[in-house]
Chains A and B, each alone.
Chain A
Amino acid sequence: MFWGVVTGLIAAALAYFGNPKNMAICIACFVRDIAGSMKFHQAAVVQYFRPEIVGFVFGAFIISLVTNEFRSTAGSSPMIRFFLGMAMMIGALVFLGCPTRMVLRMASGEISSYIGLIGFVGGVVTGIYFLKKGYSLGRSQITKKASGMILPVVFGLLMVATLVVPQVFAFSESGPGSFHAPWLISLAGGLAIGMIAQRIRMCFAGGVRDALLIKNFDLLSILVGIFAAMAVYNIVMNDFQIRMFGPVAHAQHLWNILGLYVVGFASILLGGCPLRQLILTGQGSSDSAVTTLGMLMGAAVAHNFGFASAPAAAATADAAAVAGGPGTPGMIAVIVCIGFLFAVGIYGTKKEA
């Protein structure tokens, strides 16, 4: 609980210093922004190279080297994981947020995020069903050290590149991508959370999974801590408000539920939520590094093919209210992702010689 509160306070500080309020440290949003800043998609409002993501990976990388927990591993069905990463991101961008943002939105009083939680828990429960049937993507093996180090190092080099040659990256001039804390604060916050998350094995899907599967509430209590810290911050800043949705969100209930259903289900099939994948990447897992690249690809695909939901907006003097939510392509993508996840679940329970 304590470290959850600390993480929540860091998230609150990042929001205070300029990150979008109810995103703060959203993994899906920030990976999406990075995909945009590298011009993998052209959605002009969500392009910014988020130093937090670099911090999460690098923080876990540093701390695992220091504690001698760094293990360069690979080989647990990497290409299946790549596509699970893509599916996880597409689901998140239909809900408009990963489980981290779901908790942050819950802490700001958004009813739509509580409705999304139903889907998330449903996805976790479905994943547990397959785990109990013996689901596995197979064992990873020890591999060349460089394989585990390469993605953390590349993220670090990209971070340097954004400072040295910013002109080759895209930076949003309006919209959520234009809201950000100063880069050094973002990086420091990301590093701190990366280190904490590695030490305490923070995982949003794992919290729900362990509570239901083995009646262990360690991971869940961390999430309660994040929720509590963020809720107090929102109340103090007068941002807590019971409402259907806040900024960059929508209240299409079915799609909030199904979007997070995909995220919860994919997280269990992968063995960890989007944040956990970044942390495992930092501690040397090439399987998680491939998943991270899958998330990057998923973000690009979600925006290039119009899978990502549109945010809802209240009516103004010049414009009518917008309901937001996914268009037909997004709805089809979510259904396809759910079909894919069931296929992986069923395939993963088959014993191989």
Chain B
Amino acid sequence: MEVDVRGLSCPEPVMQVAAALKESPEKVVVLLSEAHSVANVKNYALEHGYRVHQEAKGFDYQLTIEK
């Protein structure tokens, strides 16, 4: 499942990722535009026992969240 949270204010990115992980608990790919959202989403995923892989996508960030 893919989620695009670019340009959203806090805490919408974390909330959308949390909702996506409920729907698709195995794997969620997140596209983000702000470094602080990256930190927030990453923390959330790690705290909930997921592995997180981060890469740059041009000016944006992509997080792959997996069990």
Contact A139 B6 (CB under 8 A): yes
Query: CA–CA, A136 to B6, complex, Å?
Result: 13
- A123-147, CB under 8 A of B: which get 1 and which 0? 0000000010000111111100000
A142-B33 contact in complex given A216-B44, A216-B47, A218-B43, C-beta closer than 8 Å = yes
Contact A141 B7 (CB under 8 A): yes
Q: Which residue of A lies closest to B35 (CB)?
A: A69
Contact B47 A76 (CB under 8 A): no
- Choose among B7, B12, B43, B59 the residue that contacts A216 (Cβ–Cβ < 8 A): B43
Known pairs A73-B34, A136-B12, A271-B11. 20 more at Cβ < 8 A? A69-B35, A71-B34, A75-B7, A131-B11, A131-B15, A136-B8, A137-B9, A138-B7, A139-B6, A139-B7, A140-B9, A142-B33, A206-B11, A210-B11, A213-B11, A213-B15, A214-B18, A216-B44, A271-B10, A272-B10
How large, as a class, is the contact surface on chain A? 20 to 34
Chain B residues with CB under 8 Å of A213's CB are 11, 15
5 closest A-B pairs by CB? A271-B9, A139-B7, A69-B35, A140-B7, A271-B10
Q: What's the nearest-Cβ distance from chain A to residue B67, in Å?
A: 19
How many B residues touch A, CB cutoff 8 Å? Answer: 20
Does B54 have its Cβ within 8 Å of any Cβ on chain A?
A: no
Query: CA–CA, A131 to B12, complex, Å?
Result: 8
Q: What's the nearest-Cβ distance from chain A to residue B13, in Å?
A: 10
Chain B residues with CB under 8 Å of A218's CB are 43
Q: What's the nearest-Cβ distance from chain A to residue B10, in Å?
A: 5
Query: CA–CA, A142 to B35, complex, Å?
Result: 14
Does B24 have its Cβ within 8 Å of any Cβ on chain A?
A: no
Does B22 have its Cβ within 8 Å of any Cβ on chain A?
A: no
Within 8 A of B (CB), among A65-81: 67, 69, 71, 73, 75-76
- B20-41, CB under 8 A of A: which get 1 and which 0? 0000000000000111100110
Q: What's the nearest-Cβ distance from chain A to residue B21, in Å?
A: 12
Query: CA–CA, A131 to B16, complex, Å?
Result: 11
